[in-house]
Amino acid sequence: MPFSLNTKITTLIGIFTIVGMSYAGFAVIDNRYAHAGELKQLEKKIDANRISDLEDKIFSLQFKIQSGEGTALDAALLERYQNQMNVLTK
């Protein structure tokens, strides 16, 4: 029994709709996850911000300690921040 033209067109439209929706779904899923290159760039920016923050804290604590206002806690924090800086800059 031959199919009518209307049935063939409806079937083709259905197939194209399913394929199109599948493609769109994969595109949405793919865009939700960071690509490896983007992740590396983001890690570099985070590290740069962290290094800048540590430099500011180290400078402030060194100034405080050199001016004679530093406490034992300030010295311990300075050592901790310098260790973190060494890890980040390796």
Residue 61's CB: how many other CB atoms inside 10 A? 21
Condensed to tens digits (0 to 9), the pLDDT of residues 1-54 reads: 566 777 778 888 888 788 877 777 766 666 666 677 788 888 899 999 999 999
| Torsion of Cα atoms, 72 then 51 then 85 then 64, to 10° | -20
- What is the predicted pLDDT for the residue at 32? 64
Condensed to tens digits (0 to 9), the pLDDT of residues 48-71 reads: 999 999 999 999 999 999 999 999
Please tell me whether the overall predicted TM-score, pTM, comes out greater than 0.85 for this model.
Answer: no
- What is the predicted pLDDT for the residue at 53? 95
- What is the predicted pLDDT for the residue at 30? 61
**What does each C-alpha distance from 70 to 63, 74, 82 come to in angstroms?**
9, 6, 16
